Homo-oligomer: A and B are copies of this chain.
Protein backbone atom coordinates (compact mmCIF):
# COMPACT_ATOMS: atom_id res chain seq x y z
CA UNK A 1 0.00 0.00 0.00
CA UNK A 2 1.18 3.49 -0.84
CA UNK A 3 0.29 6.56 1.17
CA UNK A 4 0.64 10.11 -0.12
CA UNK A 5 0.00 13.26 1.93
CA UNK A 6 -1.97 16.12 0.43
CA UNK A 7 -0.92 19.33 2.15
CA UNK A 8 -3.56 22.07 2.28
CA UNK A 9 -4.22 25.30 4.15
CA UNK A 10 -6.75 23.57 6.41
CA UNK A 11 -4.47 20.64 7.23
CA UNK A 12 -2.99 17.53 5.63
CA UNK A 13 -4.82 14.38 4.65
CA UNK A 14 -3.66 10.98 3.43
CA UNK A 15 -4.41 9.31 0.11
CA UNK A 16 -4.04 5.54 0.46
CA UNK A 17 -3.57 3.43 -2.66
CA UNK A 18 -3.52 -0.36 -2.83
CA UNK A 19 -5.56 -3.53 -3.24
CA UNK A 20 -8.26 -4.58 -0.76
CA UNK A 21 -7.47 -1.73 1.58
CA UNK A 22 -10.96 -0.47 2.48
CA UNK A 23 -11.28 -2.51 5.69
CA UNK A 24 -7.87 -1.55 7.05
CA UNK A 25 -7.84 2.14 6.10
CA UNK A 26 -11.52 2.89 6.74
CA UNK A 27 -11.24 1.12 10.09
CA UNK A 28 -8.41 3.44 11.10
CA UNK A 29 -10.35 6.51 9.97
CA UNK A 30 -13.48 5.48 11.87
CA UNK A 31 -11.43 5.04 15.02
CA UNK A 32 -9.80 8.42 14.58
CA UNK A 33 -12.89 10.41 13.57
CA UNK A 34 -15.27 8.39 15.77
CA UNK A 35 -18.49 9.56 14.07
CA UNK A 36 -21.85 8.67 15.64
CA UNK A 37 -23.24 7.95 12.17
CA UNK A 38 -21.98 7.36 8.64
CA UNK A 39 -23.78 8.09 5.37
CA UNK A 40 -22.59 6.43 2.18
CA UNK A 41 -23.40 8.36 -1.00
CA UNK A 42 -23.27 6.28 -4.15
CA UNK A 43 -24.83 5.05 -7.41
CA UNK A 44 -27.00 1.92 -7.75
CA UNK A 45 -24.47 0.13 -9.97
CA UNK A 46 -21.60 0.77 -7.54
CA UNK A 47 -23.71 -0.48 -4.67
CA UNK A 48 -24.55 -3.62 -6.60
CA UNK A 49 -20.94 -4.36 -7.46
CA UNK A 50 -19.09 -3.21 -4.38
CA UNK A 51 -21.42 -2.45 -1.43
CA UNK A 52 -20.19 -5.60 0.33
CA UNK A 53 -16.64 -4.28 0.38
CA UNK A 54 -17.63 -1.14 2.29
CA UNK A 55 -20.04 -3.05 4.51
CA UNK A 56 -17.22 -5.38 5.45
CA UNK A 57 -15.06 -2.37 6.25
CA UNK A 58 -17.80 -0.92 8.47
CA UNK A 59 -18.70 -4.18 10.20
CA UNK A 60 -16.60 -3.79 13.36
CA UNK A 61 -17.62 -0.20 13.76
CA UNK A 62 -21.32 -1.12 13.43
CA UNK A 63 -20.83 -3.87 16.00
CA UNK A 64 -19.56 -1.21 18.37
CA UNK A 65 -22.80 0.77 17.88
CA UNK A 66 -22.12 2.80 14.73
CA UNK A 67 -25.02 3.48 12.39
CA UNK A 68 -24.79 3.54 8.59
CA UNK A 69 -27.29 4.97 6.09
CA UNK A 70 -27.22 5.12 2.28
CA UNK A 71 -28.09 7.92 -0.10
CA UNK A 72 -28.11 6.46 -3.61
CA UNK A 73 -28.79 8.55 -6.70
CA UNK A 74 -28.88 7.65 -10.41
CA UNK A 75 -25.74 7.59 -12.53
CA UNK A 76 -24.59 10.12 -15.07
CA UNK A 77 -23.19 13.65 -15.22
CA UNK A 78 -26.78 14.79 -15.90
CA UNK A 79 -27.67 13.99 -12.28
CA UNK A 80 -24.86 16.05 -10.75
CA UNK A 81 -27.41 18.81 -10.34
CA UNK A 82 -29.35 20.96 -7.88
CA UNK A 83 -32.20 18.44 -7.78
CA UNK A 84 -30.09 15.67 -6.26
CA UNK A 85 -28.24 18.18 -4.10
CA UNK A 86 -31.60 19.09 -2.55
CA UNK A 87 -32.61 15.45 -2.24
CA UNK A 88 -29.35 14.73 -0.45
CA UNK A 89 -29.76 17.64 1.95
CA UNK A 90 -33.29 16.57 2.85
CA UNK A 91 -32.08 13.01 3.31
CA UNK A 92 -29.36 14.11 5.74
CA UNK A 93 -31.80 16.33 7.65
CA UNK A 94 -34.50 13.66 7.79
CA UNK A 95 -32.03 11.10 9.13
CA UNK A 96 -30.74 13.54 11.73
CA UNK A 97 -27.15 13.81 10.52
CA UNK A 98 -24.92 16.42 12.15
CA UNK A 99 -21.49 17.96 11.64
CA UNK A 100 -20.08 15.21 13.85
CA UNK A 101 -21.02 12.47 11.40
CA UNK A 102 -19.01 11.16 8.46
CA UNK A 103 -20.01 11.11 4.80
CA UNK A 104 -18.40 8.55 2.50
CA UNK A 105 -18.41 9.37 -1.22
CA UNK A 106 -18.33 5.98 -2.92
CA UNK A 107 -18.14 6.11 -6.71
CA UNK A 108 -16.64 7.90 -9.68
CA UNK A 109 -16.24 11.58 -10.40
CA UNK A 110 -19.95 12.41 -10.37
CA UNK A 111 -20.48 10.83 -6.96
CA UNK A 112 -17.34 12.44 -5.55
CA UNK A 113 -18.32 15.91 -6.76
CA UNK A 114 -21.93 15.84 -5.60
CA UNK A 115 -21.29 13.97 -2.35
CA UNK A 116 -18.36 16.23 -1.50
CA UNK A 117 -20.51 19.29 -2.11
CA UNK A 118 -23.20 17.85 0.13
CA UNK A 119 -20.60 17.32 2.83
CA UNK A 120 -19.27 20.85 2.42
CA UNK A 121 -22.74 22.43 2.59
CA UNK A 122 -24.72 20.45 5.14
CA UNK A 123 -24.57 22.30 8.48
CA UNK A 124 -21.67 24.32 7.04
CA UNK A 125 -19.55 21.24 6.57
CA UNK A 126 -19.43 17.68 7.83
CA UNK A 127 -16.41 15.43 7.53
CA UNK A 128 -16.11 13.19 4.48
CA UNK A 129 -13.86 10.69 2.76
CA UNK A 130 -13.50 9.93 -0.92
CA UNK A 131 -13.59 6.30 -2.03
CA UNK A 132 -13.12 6.76 -5.79
CA UNK A 133 -14.10 3.73 -7.87
CA UNK A 134 -12.99 4.87 -11.33
CA UNK A 135 -9.43 5.38 -12.54
CA UNK A 136 -10.31 8.93 -13.53
CA UNK A 137 -11.59 9.74 -10.03
CA UNK A 138 -8.55 8.09 -8.40
CA UNK A 139 -5.96 10.03 -10.36
CA UNK A 140 -7.79 13.34 -10.57
CA UNK A 141 -11.21 14.33 -9.26
CA UNK A 142 -11.04 12.77 -5.78
CA UNK A 143 -7.84 14.68 -4.93
CA UNK A 144 -7.75 18.34 -4.03
CA UNK A 145 -11.18 19.20 -2.70
CA UNK A 146 -12.92 20.58 -5.76
CA UNK A 147 -16.55 19.61 -5.24
CA UNK A 148 -19.75 20.84 -6.81
CA UNK A 149 -22.45 20.39 -9.39
CA UNK A 150 -23.51 21.52 -12.85
CA UNK A 151 -26.04 24.08 -13.94
CA UNK A 152 -27.68 23.53 -17.34
CA UNK A 153 -24.97 24.18 -19.91
CA UNK A 154 -22.39 25.10 -17.28
CA UNK A 155 -20.26 22.31 -15.87
CA UNK A 156 -19.13 22.74 -12.25
CA UNK A 157 -20.79 26.16 -12.08
CA UNK A 158 -21.64 25.66 -8.40
CA UNK A 159 -19.38 24.29 -5.71
CA UNK A 160 -16.64 24.88 -3.22
CA UNK A 161 -13.13 23.92 -2.19
CA UNK A 162 -13.62 21.44 0.61
CA UNK A 163 -10.93 18.94 1.46
CA UNK A 164 -11.78 15.38 2.53
CA UNK A 165 -10.48 13.81 5.73
CA UNK A 166 -8.95 11.03 3.63
CA UNK A 167 -9.01 9.43 0.18
CA UNK A 168 -8.89 5.65 -0.25
CA UNK A 169 -8.10 4.27 -3.70
CA UNK A 170 -8.75 0.53 -3.67
CA UNK A 171 -7.44 -0.48 -7.07
CA UNK A 172 -9.22 -3.82 -6.90
CA UNK A 173 -12.54 -2.16 -7.76
CA UNK A 174 -11.05 -1.15 -11.11
CA UNK A 175 -11.36 -4.78 -12.23
CA UNK A 176 -15.12 -4.35 -12.72
CA UNK A 177 -14.70 -1.10 -14.61
CA UNK A 178 -15.77 -1.35 -18.29
CA UNK A 179 -12.66 -1.24 -20.51
CA UNK A 180 -13.88 1.97 -22.07
CA UNK A 181 -13.97 3.66 -18.64
CA UNK A 182 -10.52 2.36 -17.82
CA UNK A 183 -9.14 3.79 -21.06
CA UNK A 184 -10.93 7.06 -20.36
CA UNK A 185 -9.07 7.23 -17.05
CA UNK A 186 -5.75 6.53 -18.79
CA UNK A 187 -6.23 9.74 -20.74
CA UNK A 188 -5.94 11.66 -17.47
CA UNK A 189 -2.77 9.73 -16.64
CA UNK A 190 -1.31 10.67 -20.01
CA UNK A 191 -2.22 14.27 -19.21
CA UNK A 192 0.10 14.21 -16.17
CA UNK A 193 2.77 12.78 -18.43
CA UNK A 194 2.56 15.58 -20.97
CA UNK A 195 2.30 18.26 -18.26
CA UNK A 196 4.95 17.14 -15.79
CA UNK A 197 6.46 13.71 -16.14
CA UNK A 198 8.29 12.40 -19.21
CA UNK A 199 9.14 9.14 -17.48
CA UNK A 200 5.45 8.47 -16.76
CA UNK A 201 4.67 9.24 -20.39
CA UNK A 202 7.22 6.69 -21.62
CA UNK A 203 5.89 4.10 -19.19
CA UNK A 204 2.32 4.69 -20.33
CA UNK A 205 3.41 4.19 -23.96
CA UNK A 206 5.02 0.89 -23.00
CA UNK A 207 2.13 -0.21 -20.80
CA UNK A 208 -0.46 0.06 -23.56
CA UNK A 209 -4.16 -0.43 -22.93
CA UNK A 210 -4.47 -4.13 -22.16
CA UNK A 211 -6.83 -4.40 -19.20
CA UNK A 212 -4.78 -6.99 -17.29
CA UNK A 213 -1.58 -5.01 -17.71
CA UNK A 214 -3.26 -1.80 -16.60
CA UNK A 215 -4.80 -3.41 -13.50
CA UNK A 216 -1.43 -4.91 -12.66
CA UNK A 217 0.22 -1.51 -12.82
CA UNK A 218 -2.69 0.41 -11.29
CA UNK A 219 -1.39 1.03 -7.75
CA UNK A 220 1.90 2.40 -9.01
CA UNK A 221 0.32 4.50 -11.76
CA UNK A 222 -2.34 5.95 -9.44
CA UNK A 223 0.28 6.76 -6.79
CA UNK A 224 2.42 8.60 -9.35
CA UNK A 225 -0.50 10.73 -10.50
CA UNK A 226 -1.73 11.42 -6.96
CA UNK A 227 1.75 12.61 -5.97
CA UNK A 228 1.84 14.98 -8.95
CA UNK A 229 -1.63 16.33 -8.22
CA UNK A 230 -0.88 16.69 -4.49
CA UNK A 231 2.07 18.93 -5.35
CA UNK A 232 -0.12 21.12 -7.58
CA UNK A 233 -2.82 21.37 -4.90
CA UNK A 234 -0.17 22.30 -2.33
CA UNK A 235 1.09 25.09 -4.56
CA UNK A 236 -2.28 26.47 -5.63
CA UNK A 237 -5.14 24.97 -3.62
CA UNK A 238 -7.70 27.61 -4.57
CA UNK A 239 -6.85 27.75 -8.27
CA UNK A 240 -5.63 31.33 -8.05
CA UNK A 241 -2.08 31.48 -9.38
CA UNK A 242 -2.48 29.58 -12.64
CA UNK A 243 -0.59 26.49 -11.44
CA UNK A 244 -3.71 24.44 -10.78
CA UNK A 245 -5.26 25.78 -13.97
CA UNK A 246 -2.59 23.86 -15.93
CA UNK A 247 -4.42 20.66 -14.96
CA UNK A 248 -7.07 21.81 -17.42
CA UNK A 249 -4.81 20.73 -20.27
CA UNK A 250 -7.13 19.36 -22.95
CA UNK A 251 -10.18 20.38 -20.92
CA UNK A 252 -11.25 23.61 -22.62
CA UNK A 253 -11.53 21.78 -25.95
CA UNK A 254 -12.77 18.70 -24.11
CA UNK A 255 -15.62 20.46 -22.33
CA UNK A 256 -16.68 22.10 -25.57
CA UNK A 257 -16.78 18.68 -27.24
CA UNK A 258 -18.71 17.14 -24.35
CA UNK A 259 -21.19 19.97 -24.31
CA UNK A 260 -21.63 19.94 -28.12
CA UNK A 261 -22.06 16.17 -28.37
CA UNK A 262 -24.33 16.01 -25.32
CA UNK A 263 -22.96 14.71 -22.03
CA UNK A 264 -22.59 10.93 -22.01
CA UNK A 265 -21.84 10.43 -25.72
CA UNK A 266 -18.12 10.81 -25.11
CA UNK A 267 -16.53 9.67 -21.87
CA UNK A 268 -14.86 12.54 -20.03
CA UNK A 269 -11.41 11.06 -20.66
CA UNK A 270 -12.15 10.58 -24.36
CA UNK A 271 -13.12 14.23 -24.67
CA UNK A 272 -9.95 15.18 -22.78
CA UNK A 273 -7.86 12.95 -25.10
CA UNK A 274 -9.32 14.68 -28.15
CA UNK A 275 -8.93 17.99 -26.36
CA UNK A 276 -5.22 17.38 -25.69
CA UNK A 277 -4.66 16.56 -29.35
CA UNK A 278 -6.46 19.75 -30.33
CA UNK A 279 -4.39 21.70 -27.79
CA UNK A 280 -1.18 20.14 -29.14
CA UNK A 281 -2.13 21.08 -32.70
CA UNK A 282 -3.12 24.57 -31.53
CA UNK A 283 0.28 24.87 -29.85
CA UNK A 284 1.90 24.10 -33.20
CA UNK A 285 -0.35 26.47 -35.14
CA UNK A 286 0.12 29.24 -32.57
CA UNK A 287 3.87 28.94 -33.11
CA UNK A 288 4.46 27.91 -29.52
CA UNK A 289 5.58 24.33 -30.13
CA UNK A 290 7.63 22.74 -32.89
CA UNK A 291 5.94 20.40 -35.34
CA UNK A 292 5.76 16.85 -34.03
CA UNK A 293 3.95 17.57 -30.78
CA UNK A 294 0.66 16.39 -32.19
CA UNK A 295 2.25 13.17 -33.48
CA UNK A 296 3.59 12.43 -30.00
CA UNK A 297 0.06 12.86 -28.67
CA UNK A 298 -1.53 10.70 -31.36
CA UNK A 299 0.88 7.87 -30.65
CA UNK A 300 -0.10 7.51 -27.00
CA UNK A 301 -3.72 8.72 -27.14
CA UNK A 302 -5.11 7.02 -30.26
CA UNK A 303 -5.11 3.55 -28.65
CA UNK A 304 -7.39 5.00 -25.95
CA UNK A 305 -9.91 6.08 -28.57
CA UNK A 306 -9.96 2.85 -30.57
CA UNK A 307 -13.54 1.69 -31.05
CA UNK A 308 -15.16 4.95 -29.95
CA UNK A 309 -17.96 6.03 -32.30
CA UNK A 310 -17.09 9.38 -33.82
CA UNK A 311 -19.89 9.71 -36.39
CA UNK A 312 -22.44 11.25 -34.08
CA UNK A 313 -20.66 14.60 -33.82
CA UNK A 314 -22.44 17.74 -34.90
CA UNK A 315 -20.62 20.31 -37.02
CA UNK A 316 -17.43 21.52 -35.44
CA UNK A 317 -18.43 25.03 -36.40
CA UNK A 318 -20.98 24.98 -33.64
CA UNK A 319 -18.43 23.89 -31.07
CA UNK A 320 -16.14 26.80 -31.80
CA UNK A 321 -19.11 29.13 -31.97
CA UNK A 322 -20.10 27.99 -28.48
CA UNK A 323 -16.62 28.76 -27.25
CA UNK A 324 -17.03 32.23 -28.70
CA UNK A 325 -20.31 32.68 -26.86
CA UNK A 326 -18.57 31.82 -23.62
CA UNK A 327 -15.90 34.36 -24.35
CA UNK A 328 -18.48 37.06 -25.09
CA UNK A 329 -20.13 36.34 -21.74
CA UNK A 330 -16.82 37.10 -20.10
CA UNK A 331 -16.11 33.47 -19.24
CA UNK A 332 -12.64 32.17 -18.70
CA UNK A 333 -11.24 31.30 -22.13
CA UNK A 334 -7.66 30.61 -21.28
CA UNK A 335 -6.12 27.66 -23.05
CA UNK A 336 -3.42 25.45 -21.63
CA UNK A 337 -0.93 24.87 -24.45
CA UNK A 338 2.48 23.20 -24.53
CA UNK A 339 5.79 24.68 -25.64
CA UNK A 340 6.82 21.04 -25.69
CA UNK A 341 6.35 17.97 -23.49
CA UNK A 342 6.45 18.99 -19.80
CA UNK A 343 6.50 22.66 -20.74
CA UNK A 344 2.89 23.82 -20.22
CA UNK A 345 1.86 27.40 -20.62
CA UNK A 346 -1.38 29.29 -19.94
CA UNK A 347 -2.33 31.25 -23.06
CA UNK A 348 -5.00 33.95 -23.08
CA UNK A 349 -4.38 35.13 -26.62
CA UNK A 350 -5.24 32.07 -28.70
CA UNK A 351 -7.58 33.14 -31.48
CA UNK A 352 -10.82 31.22 -31.85
CA UNK A 353 -9.95 30.85 -35.50
CA UNK A 354 -6.81 28.89 -34.63
CA UNK A 355 -8.67 26.94 -31.96
CA UNK A 356 -11.36 25.97 -34.45
CA UNK A 357 -8.82 25.04 -37.10
CA UNK A 358 -6.91 22.83 -34.67
CA UNK A 359 -10.07 21.03 -33.60
CA UNK A 360 -11.21 20.53 -37.19
CA UNK A 361 -7.86 19.08 -38.26
CA UNK A 362 -7.86 16.72 -35.31
CA UNK A 363 -11.32 15.41 -35.92
CA UNK A 364 -10.50 14.86 -39.57
CA UNK A 365 -7.31 12.95 -38.79
CA UNK A 366 -9.11 10.92 -36.14
CA UNK A 367 -11.73 9.92 -38.66
CA UNK A 368 -8.97 8.69 -40.98
CA UNK A 369 -6.94 6.90 -38.31
CA UNK A 370 -9.62 5.10 -36.32
Contacts and interface: CB of A to CB of B under 8 A. Distances in A.
Interface of A: 9-10, 36-37, 82, 86, 89-90, 93, 96-100, 120-125, 146, 148, 151, 154, 156-161, 238-239, 328-332
Can you tell how many copies of this chain the complex includes?
2
B157 A93 contact: yes
Contacts of A9: 9-10
Given A10-B9, A90-B151, A330 B98 contact: yes
6 contacts: A89-B158, A97-B330, A99-B332, A123-B158, A124-B158, A125-B161
A159 B120 CA distance: 8
Contacts of A100: 330
B154 A121 contact: no
A158 B96 contact: no
Contacts of A328: 96
Nearest to A151: B93
Contacts of A120: 160
A158 B121 contact: yes
Contacts of A332: 98-99
Contact of A160 (B36, B86, B121, B239): B121
B160 A37 contact: no
Nearest to A154: B93
A328 B96 CA distance: 9
Contacts of A331: 96, 98
A273 to B, nearest CB: 25
A128 B100 CA distance: 29
A127 to B, nearest CB: 12
Given A89-B157, A330-B37, A124 B148 contact: yes
Contacts of A124: 146, 148, 156, 158-161, 239
* Residue from A36, A37, A148, A151 with most neighbouring chain B CB atoms (10 Å): A151
A122 B158 contact: yes
Nearest to A37: B330
Contacts of A157: 89, 93, 122-123
A67 to B, nearest CB: 9
A232 B124 CA distance: 18
Contacts of A89: 82, 151, 157-158
A157 B148 CA distance: 18
Nearest to A94: B329
A123 B239 CA distance: 11
Contacts of A148: 121, 124
Contacts of A36: 330
A264 to B, nearest CB: 21
A355 to B, nearest CB: 19
A50 to B, nearest CB: 28
Contacts of A154: 93
Nearest to A67: B330
Nearest to A159: B124
Nearest to A240: B99
The 10 closest A-B pairs by CB, nearest first: A96-B329, A124-B159, A96-B330, A121-B158, A93-B151, A93-B154, A98-B330, A124-B160, A82-B86, A89-B158
Given A100-B330, A121-B159, 4 more contacts: A93-B157, A96-B328, A121-B160, A122-B158
A274 B120 CA distance: 33
A94 to B, nearest CB: 9
Nearest to A95: B329
Nearest to A162: B160
